[in-house]
Structure 1
Amino acid sequence: MRKLNSQDQNFLAQLNALTAFEVAQDVTLDQRVAEIVEQVKLHGDRALIQYTEQFDRRQIGQASDLELSLDACQAAFNSLSEQQKQALTTAAERIRRFHEKQKGEGWTYTEADGTVLGQKITPLDRVGIYVPGGKAAYPSSVLMNAVPAQVAGVAEIIMVVPTPDGINNPFVLAAAYVAGVNRVFTVGGAQAVAALAYGTQLIPAVDKIVGPGNAYVAAAKRRVFGVVGIDMVAGPSEILVIADGSTDPEWVAMDLFSQAEHDEIAQAILLCPDESYLKQVELALSRLIETMPRRDTIKASLSSRGAMILVKSLDEACTISNYIAPEHLELSVAQPEQLLDKIKHAGAIFMGQYSSESLGDYCAGPNHVLPTGRTARFASPLGVYDFQKRSSIIHVSHQGAQSLGQIASQLAHGEGLTAHARSAELRLEK
């Protein structure tokens, strides 16, 4: 990992170079995705079968072969060990309990003249969740995307998951069963996103698409946005650890590994005011790296986008963290409560030495779908609110129409919109 010092004259330039990352805007990739999306839009199941055979190396007899029955998902759950079943169900219960707290309620208030104003909250009718398959198979993603949708009251949850070579991941299917997914289709890539957005003879069109995927999936989600809603266009995984030296260096080293093992372009950063502690973590990294099955990925990630940054104080560490706006932030300090108010921008904040980021990924309860690439400055974790929409309620009384009508008339005439003005004026008493 590179070593930076916040007191260096060119530190800000070094920090910007370290954190710079453009999310999947490759022109060639975008052109290919545009072609796939258009073909699925025009030809439906026929294009879906063609791309699935091409990219997933499968032979598809008919479109219905792409749908898995819910009985198959239940069978997958039954095939798991008791420990795996317990892990899935307990995680789902914790995720559900946390997201129940997010459920919004409609509200109204009545003005003195009898006019009633308010807000009505309703769930989306149908959502699609994309779940990675193949090398990256994440049952936790099923839970994190499907459970909040179910809590929000979404009527139908459609899951798409690629199955390269026709191999299903039983843990993923079991998670779909536990989370209450309604239909499962074994398709992936840009073609699955297009199918969810526009609908095919087999796959119904949805109102919103959520869930992580590769660069093709990200580009496809960006392309269909507006036809459907999307959660976000996510970049590589990130972790930033603020340490005061009180946590076992091996714990911090492993926390850095936990994000670096995701991808060669994942990012792991450590901020600390204690130079000797940074050296202890560096030694721990060296000791532990050879024990990691994904050590090549970790090494590539840490060498290309990782950093240890010596700061002058924990306050300065918080300032730098706010600038980076990390996906995952660990406050690995003795008194994390003292730093919490100083943190403005982070997807999820893990407080204290026992709050490892991995617990948040799987079972703590809060959602692990988080803003990346500095978007935590303006974006939030996935939640129940992403599966609900708000409608304004306006019930104007006779008396209210007299006062509001005069205001609207003046403003409408000022904008040159005569019909708007007349619409309000016609309701005024003569």
Structure 2
Amino acid sequence: MKGLACLFILCSMLSFAQAQDYTPFQTKVRALTALSKLDNPDQQREAQRVLLDSLKRTDQIPITYKDSVAFIYIGQATAVDWMGDFNGWGYDKNFANAGKKIPGTNIWILKASFPEDARLDYKIVLNKKSWILDPLNLNQQWSGVGGGSPNSELRMPGYHDEPYQKERSDIPKGTVEHDILFTSNMLGYQITYSVYLPPNATGKLPVVYVTDGYEYLHPQLGNMPVVLDNLIADKKIIPVMAVFIDHREPANRTNNRRMQELVMNENYLKFFIDEFIPYIELTYPAATERSKRAVIGSSVGGLSATYFAFSRPDIFGNAGIQSPSFFTRPQIYSLCDSPEGSKLKISMTSGVINDASEGGRRMIKILENNSCVYQYREVNQGHSWGNWKDLVDDILMDFFAVQP
């Protein structure tokens, strides 16, 4: 009977909210806050359980409606904060990220507003020190370098999964040879790389050189082999091979050299042009025309892809640039402001929520002036693999679309 009584109380709260002509979002939030009005602790706990079970059963935590969201945490704490893409993981002090406790309960709530199609990574911080995943939200997105770790994922109502990210059992699959060692005389150390070859391909193939290759390969990060399989099967792109460069030291994977190799490093560029590409073209069926070579990267990898292509447009005809960290090397703008750059095809993407859109828009003005062929896309996301994996198919189609 206790459960029935609490369910009646809960239904009464919801009916009252609905009678006031509130939105579905307001109805659910007000039902949560109305729990504080229950004087009987047993009834409050049971009503809380019934309400939260209902929300979890329909994947409605965080609660979202149009551009509104309510984050929820249940548990004992002295402070509950939300950190994520929306506040630059703590760097944006203008975003009010502190949760408020519903009086008389152990429920904490944070209300915010984001674009209706936003997708954002976040974590909950308890007592100003303990970072945890949202225990009420099953959606997660892995992020970071070297395999990374999971974040909780906010999906606003207008966000939809990228269909080309889903592995299909009914199409031919390419092959991936993983973790191939290459000893560089120019660098003085070994690197590892992996190679994707498309199914049933013959002849010389266009080739994509992918920085942060381990991450672009990772099924929980870039998942790029699946994207390639799907695009080729659907005849969205011609068969393409991909070379994924791993910046982690082969003998010590915790030592990631990306912050040395990918920040406009002239010696690394020389290694790539004079040693690595010739080796790839001798070993694999890689096409040698510049128009059939692309380099792709994200963050400092996006900076590096830009640097590679504009430094050597005689080698690279295409550059895929995702959330580029141009701010770390502002001299990239003057490098790109040259007539040689007009030979390039550029596909650039960025999120607009604490990501790289400011630098991206500045670069687009330069590309307009030097007559580059370019595409530029912005999405309501942050600096995250959730952003980059959603757009890698667009980049590949910009470069290697099947011509009618």
TM-score normalised according to structure 2 size? 0.26
Per residue, is there more strand in 1 or in 2?
A: 2
Per residue, is there more helix in 1 or in 2?
A: 1
TM-score normalised according to structure 1 size? 0.25
